Amino acid sequence: MGAASRRSSSWAPMGGRSPLRAASALRTREWSYPQAALTTLLAHERPHCDISTEFHTRNGPFTLVPLPGGHRSSLVWVTAEPAAKRLSGLDDRDLAAAVEHQARSMLGAMRIDGPRGLVPMRGLSVERPVADRLALIGEAAHVFPPIGAQGLNLGLRDAAAVRDAVFSAREANRDPGAPASLAGFGRNRGVDARLRGAAVDMLNRSLLTDFLPVDALRGLGLVVLGAIPPLRRIVMREGVQPRLGAPSLMR
């Protein structure tokens, strides 16, 4: 998973349990949420038209991600851990009916079309994503709930930024794994991960709270985004491809 260069540097997309991160002694912070994500693949009656849909519920996001072919989607259903375990124990027919109900039948009749997963929700951040001849990317560097595909987008920017760091070092005839070569990567990716992680954590916790003012503020924000298309497009663009500090491959 981590690819070693000729000078024995490692770029580590090894997931949230990365052994390279553990061996590096980088300082990390971990936490958990009272939620779990049920994942599976779905076949459905109506076409998804290549549109990803995310419902924000009291217990977490319910997300349908379109797959090739038009009539299959990936499901990530985050809910309270006991409810997720109960859903995971249903037979295919009853689970498909529960998914269709939660999706407001927007894609018509559902059928379970793949294996299931049950993933406890947790968070992780590192103080710095670089160490001696090591750069952490993806979930090796940051873990948070699956809201707005921010984890995926952040990981793609990590990979593009590693590419920039390696190319810049080679153009300057420097060692790609040297501290000076990785310093910019560590600084820029650390800021991006902290900002995105904090935003996702705040939004996820706002779904779980019973505090009325927080509910009202979140609802007002979503109403404003829905009512002002230019603002919605800006927010969506910044979530996928922020202009500030974007790797050169994504500009």
DSSP 131: E
Pairing of β 134-136 and β 10-12: parallel
- Cα–Cα distance list, 167 to 154, 170, 174, 184 (Å): 20, 5, 10, 13
Q: Residue type for 226, please?
A: G
Q: Give helix 229-240 / helix 150-171 axis angle, nearest 10°.
A: 50
Span 98-156, pLDDT tens digits = 999 999 999 999 999 999 999 999 999 999 999 888 999 999 999 999 988 888 899 99
* 235, pLDDT greater than 80: no
* Token pair for 121: 């929700």
Q: Is the per-residue pLDDT at 64 higher than 50?
A: yes
Strands (E), the chain: 3-4, 10-12, 28-44, 53-57, 60-66, 72-80, 110-112, 117-126, 130-131, 134-136, 142-143
Q: Check whether 35 has a pLDDT greater than 90.
A: yes
**3-27+127-250 — its CATH code?**
3.50.50.60
d(CA 149, CA 146): 6
Q: Which amino acid is at 57?
A: T
Q: Where are the domains of the chain?
A: 3-27+127-250, 32-120
Segment (H or E) for 161: helix 150-171
What token pair was written down for 4? 């070693």
Encode burial over 22-46: b for 16+ CB neighbours within 10 A, e otherwise.
eebebebeeeebebbbbbbbbbbee
153 φ/ψ angles, rounded to the nearest 5 degrees: -65, -40
Pairwise CA distance, residues 246 & 251, whole Å: 6
Given this structure, which CATH class describes domain 32-120?
A: alpha beta
- Alpha carbons 89 and 14: distance in angstroms, whole number: 30
Confidence tier at 194 by pLDDT (50, 70, 90)? very high
| Region 24-31 average pLDDT | 92
Asked if 59 and 81 count as a contact pair (C-beta separation under 8 A), the reply is no
